[in-house]
Every structure is written in C-alpha cells, then in structure tokens.
Homo-oligomer: A and B are copies of this chain.
Amino acid sequence: MFEYNLIARDAATLARAGAFSTPHGTLLTPVFAPVGTQATVKTLTPRDLREVGASLVLANTYHLYLRPGTERIRDFGGIHAWMGWERPMLTDSGGFQVFSLSAIRKVDADGVTFRSHLDGSTHRFTPENVVQAEENIGADIIMCLDECADPNNRAYIEKALERTHAWAARCKAAQARKDQALFGIVQGGIYRDLRLESARTLSALDFPGYAIGGLSVGETKEQMYETLDYTTPELPPDKPRYLMGVGAPEDVVEGVARGIDIFDCVLPTRVARNGGLFTRQGRMNLRNSRYEDDPLPIEPGCDCYACQNFSRAYIRHLHKAEEILGLHLATVHNIRFMTRLMDEIRAAILDGTFPTYREAFLAEYKITDQAVRHAQAEARMKSRLQKATNKQKV
C-alpha cells in the first residue's frame, strides 16, 4: 500500500512516470485531480467523472467539516460511499481555506482559530483535530495542517514555517488509520533557503508523499517555476510529489518537467462555468458573439460528450440563457482536456519524447495573459472576503 513505483524518467528534464498504489486503486502519474470541494465536482456525476477519465478527486476538509460535518461522512462509510466515487480521493487539510476564506483568524503555536464563512461561528483547527477530521472523511491521501502565508513576506514566512514543521510532526503522531497516506507540505514562499530547509525537515519525517504548497497564490509564473526547480530535487525520489492548487495547462506541463506527479486545481471547472474552454490553442471564451453561429464542436477531435454531440453555437446559447446544461458541458470538456493532457504527457515520458511534446504544446498553447489572471484572482478574493465579512456581520 502507498508504494510509489517509478516507471520511467525523462533524460532531459525531471519529468517522470510512475504508479502510486492506494486502497481504491493505483494512480498512474503524472495525474490531475479535479476539485470536488463539497464532495461533488461541480456539475458532474461520478459517472461523468469516470467517463472523462478522472482517476483522483480532491475534496476539502474545511468545507466538509463545516457542512455536512465529518462525523456524518464517517457514519455513512466515508467519503467514497457518501458521494458515490470508488476511485482514489485526496483531502487537503483545510489550512489553505482558513487562510483564504475566513476574514477573521488567529494563529498560535498550537493551531488556528477562525470563523466560518457560512455563519460566522467560531472554530479551531489543530494538527490533531484536522487529522481526526480527515480520518473521518476517509480519503486515500490526506494532508498535514500547514500555514499558507504571503509568499513575499519573509519575516512572517519564517515564523509560519516553524509552525508548519511542528504541525507536520504532530499530524504524523496523531494519525491512527493506516489505510491513508499522510503527505507533508513543503512551504517557504519564494525563498530558496526556506524551501530547502522545509523539504529537508519534512523528508526527515518520512512521509509517504510530499506536497509543495504556497504556490500559485500571487507570485509570478517565473517565481513558481524557479521555486520548483530547486525544491523537487530535495524531495525523496521514491515518493510522489504533489503541487497543490496548480492546474493551468501550461503550468501542469512545466510542473511535470520539474518532477511533479500530482496536480489539483479548480481552474478547469471554474473557468468552464464562466464559458472559458480549454483547447490546444489556448483558452476560448464561448460567450464571445463570434461563436453564435459556429457549428464546430468546442474542440474538433476531442472525444468528450460535449464535443461529440453539440456545437459551439448551442453551448454558447446555453451559457447566454444561463442554463445549467451549459455549465455541465463546459466542465465535461475542460476535465477531459486535462485528463487527455495528462495521458499524453505520460505517454511522451514513457516514449522518451517528453521534451518534444512539451515544446510543441507550449508553442501551440496561447497562455492567458498574466495581468488578466491576476485581476480575476484579486476580484475573486475580494468578493470572497466581502461575503465572509457580510456573513459575520463584523
């Protein structure tokens, strides 16, 4: 159980193909996990998820802790039975959500006190009760409680890192179930020495897998790539490496080149619901009027249900008419885009052609403008904080 088998390594990059065994099946890596925050990947049934080729699904401890409660999920036989998904699952620790969703929180050496974004009620996470919550939920891969801080604030990050390392050791000590793989999370912002220290400290704790957290939270793509360049080589080669919250197609290709095995991100599902659709040429915005008479599928050649059955014009109509089917079809396509991308990446690594594949993909794929992405992320964060503030009547 939880054995990582390295199957092939690219000669020119750090890319690697592997297999990671879990109680609900073996994950072929590199793999992309769609996000099912509230025990559902938005708009998709488990059957849809299987059909688009998803092998790993992420759920969120913070959200499930607040609603429906982790004891309830435990009493229903765990998250797999609760949501009807029989393949591997992963839960994050909820740490990231405490730091991004809750307008009021107080961190101390022992844990973090925060207010629910739903009703303003006060709660506390400690390494021990988060592991308990994740054991209640029962995913195959579970994460240590960590503190995710502003990547550019060195003074704060140093303190946060100390807590994150102490919490990792406490999470490991608290783990009672042996059928879940507890991953440590490397933090350290964009500071090389802190990342290396974090990687070494956690490696010494001998986790069955390692995540890299605190990226894709405001730093530039170049900073993220550079951080990966020096961080992954410090992680044990015989354990899977998980880059948390990263999932733009170009970042997945670049992450694989830097030795990452597992990715998750809300991006493919979230942009789908706004009419943003992935194609090999880049992201297209289906709400654009240029598509109103377009008889082509979203992406010619794609084998997903949306592309096999509907025109861009019809799916655009559904989005303009605010029909749920439009959100569903766009999500189906974007997740299928990601799973095909991962399949192709893996095949290229096995064939020894990954560098060529990477170059060809990046030459064709037009990256969404960084300024646009940052503006979107900021607007999202502002609206979340606003909501949280309103609900808490602060």
Contacts and interface: CB of A to CB of B under 8 A. Distances in A.
B67 A309 contact: no
Contact of A84 (B47, B295, B310): B310
A324 B42 contact: yes
B309 A46 contact: yes
A195 to B, nearest CB: 36
Given A67-B317, A305-B47, A314-B83, A293 B324 contact: no
B84 A309 contact: yes
Interface string A298-326: 00000001000111011001101101110
Interface stretch (A1-9, A68-76, A180-188): A68-76
A117 interface: no
A45 interface: yes
Contact of A295 (B40, B42, B76): B76
Contacts of A293: 72, 75
Contacts of A329: 45
A40 B84 contact: no
Contacts of A68: 292, 313, 317, 320
Contacts of A323: 38, 40, 42
A145 to B, nearest CB: 23
Contact of A321 (B67, B76, B321, B327): B67
Contacts of A44: 325
A247 B285 CA distance: 38
Nearest to A75: B293
Given A39-B317, A46-B309, A309-B84, A324 B325 contact: no
A67 to B, nearest CB: 6
A82 interface: yes
A100 B197 CA distance: 68
Interface string A273-293: 000000000000000000011
Interface string A321-339: 1011101110000000000
A320 B305 CA distance: 29
Question: Which of A40, A67, A76, A293 has the most chain B CB atoms closer than 10 A to its own CB?
Answer: A40
Contacts of A76: 295, 311, 313-314
A317 B76 CA distance: 13
Contacts of A328: 43, 45, 324, 328
Question: Which of A68, A325, A329 has the most chain B CB atoms closer than 10 A to its own CB?
Answer: A325
Nearest to A326: B40
Nearest to A42: B324
Interface in A125-142: none
A198 B324 CA distance: 40
26 contacts: A38-B321, A38-B323, A40-B323, A42-B323, A42-B324, A42-B325, A43-B325, A43-B328, A44-B325, A45-B305, A45-B309, A45-B325, A45-B328, A45-B329, A46-B309, A63-B321, A67-B317, A68-B317, A68-B320, A75-B293, A76-B313, A76-B314, A82-B314, A84-B314, A324-B328, A328-B328
Given A68-B292, A82-B311, 8 more contacts: A38-B317, A39-B314, A45-B309, A45-B328, A68-B317, A76-B295, A84-B309, A324-B327
